[in-house]
Amino acid sequence: MFKVLVSDPIAKEGIARLQTEAGNIQVDVKTGLPKEELLKIISQYDGLIVRSETKVTAEVLKAATRLKVVARAGVGIDNVDVEIATERGVIVVNTPGGNTIAAAELAFTLMLAISRKLALANNTLKGGKWERKQFVGVELMGKTLGIVGLGRIGTEIARRAIAFGMKPLSFDPFVLPAYAEKIGIEMVPLEEIYSRADFITVHTPLTPETHHMVGKEAFAKMKDGVRIINAARGGIIDEDALYDALNSGKVAAAGLDVFEQEPPPSDYKLSRLDNVIVTPHLGASSEEAQVKVAVDAAESVIAALNGELVPNAVNLPGMSKETLLELRPYMLLAEKLGRLATALSDGILRKLEITVHGEKSPNNAHLLTAATLMGLLKDEKSDEPLNLVNAGYVAERRGLEIIDSCTELEGQYSGRTISLKVQSDGNGIANNFEGSVINGEPRIVRINGFPLEVAPLGYLLVSRHNDRPGIIGKVGTMLGEHDINIASMDVGRRSRSGEAVMILSIDDQVPATVVESLSKVDGMQNLRFVNLG
């Protein structure tokens, strides 16, 4: 029998779901445990459910000798040492879908409230005044709503906007128009959101690129009297610029649930404005959301303990230790091949064909496909959850067609060989890639049919060039002139004096100006700098 510890308060429905597995799972609810007590008892448990109070540190994980899964009833996993958990084969899951509706409804509530001036009307009536004339608002019907970021929450807001008779526009570089059109959303550039929308709501992650993306310049491009909602992340909107835009009348009203500093200071200037509604980060604060995240966490623990793949795993899906050890180098290889394919392709990726040679298990092949997609779809500018479980969903949402297969017939190398073929809107350097594991280490063994053997790690310079004397020497000389060291080199060709592919492993990043100069070497067809990490 498995034992599960619930160490933070969760909705009773989550406990009840675990208790339905009474023949297989024993549930202990012990909240508010001191660290020393948790360390003393954690070795008894196979599963752990937490919210944000319990700190699942490296020390706790090392003491948890039986632990198979940690479930966070919520989204943030800052209180879990995911790296150590992964090293120890412990699955870490969160429940991002549980608060989608709650967050979408709150954002929509803010939009309704600012459009009809409800907060101020409420306050004046409670103050003994009956002032109808000053609270004439605007209808949502017929208005244009700009949604910046079309993930789960943005999509739900769009559906509600359509029901209210609004025209939803959206900007999201990772969503294809075909996906949005099915819902009734028009995908447009960000500048067009600013110029056309009557209401704008932001639903992007907070990254260096999105920090203050809605600022003074953005407000200047908007309609006079636009209304702004932020129930996503504090810092996406420049609060000083918003304050000025509200005072000038450029922005008619704003509804804010998140802030750059939480809680905001007592003299927070935006909260003093009559045309601003503020709420204390209530996006996930609904009874239903609390139930959903608790039940989702319980379901994840049950699935993990039963050896099933777990939705919303943030590190690895459930599998036997033996399978994990066997597949681990191939999973790394698959992810690196995916990243390489993206780096060497141009335009939007449309199709991926992947074949795993020397593999008889379709489940293992699907897992390697998911690992490939993690590399293929990875974007450093996005904090969208992307893992082995949801990679297929993300690919579908981006309109990527996937064909995967496996065959027991081995390729050129013993063991498994992973073959990728990608199709995109552009040309790039290559669209066919093969890799294998040689002496326990992942290797790129073929690019567009050119034989190579390169470790898919770190900084690489990849070129396609005419196979003639002097080109490789010029590249080496130019790198040396910029104090850039070459760690290793491999060149693949099919015939003498034809076309060749070269991969250089580089010790340091290569500046864009140097890459541009190398690309102009006579006989060079294409050259890319790639960081595979």
- If we measure between CA atoms, which residue out of 511, 518, 506 comes closest to residue 477? 518
Close Cβ partners of 5 (under 8 Å, ≥ 6 residues apart): 28, 30, 41, 42, 44, 45, 47, 48, 49
**499, burial (CB in 10 Å: exposed 0-12, middle 13-18, buried 19+):** middle
**141, burial (CB in 10 Å: exposed 0-12, middle 13-18, buried 19+):** exposed
Helix (H) or strand (E) holding 348: none
SS3 291: helix
Close Cβ partners of 442 (under 8 Å, ≥ 6 residues apart): 329, 330, 332, 333, 336, 435, 436, 455, 456
Rounded Cα–Cα distance for residues 405 and 391 (Å): 17
Close Cβ partners of 394 (under 8 Å, ≥ 6 residues apart): 373, 377, 384, 386
184 close to 206: Cβ distance less than 8 angstroms: no
277 close to 107: Cβ distance less than 8 angstroms: no
Tokens 């009809």 label which residue? 116
Rounded Cα–Cα distance for residues 27 and 18 (Å): 7
147 close to 168: Cβ distance less than 8 angstroms: yes
Close Cβ partners of 159 (under 8 Å, ≥ 6 residues apart): 183
Tokens 């681990």 label which residue? 328
Structure tokens at 280: 């204390």
Rounded Cα–Cα distance for residues 219 and 434 (Å): 49
Partners of 349 in beta bridges: 424
In this structure, the dihedral spanned by the alpha carbons of residues 409, 411, 417 and 418, taken in order and rounded to 10 degrees, is -90
Rounded Cα–Cα distance for residues 4 and 318 (Å): 16
Structure tokens at 60: 């706790």
Pairing of strands 441-447, 432-438: antiparallel
Rounded Cα–Cα distance for residues 519 and 433 (Å): 22
DSSP for 386-446, please give it. Answer: --TTTHHHHHHHTT-EEEEEEESS--SSSS-EEEEEEEESS--S-SEEEEEEETTEEEEEE
Neighbour tally for 396: CB within 10 Å: 12
Catalytic residue ranges: 233, 262, 281
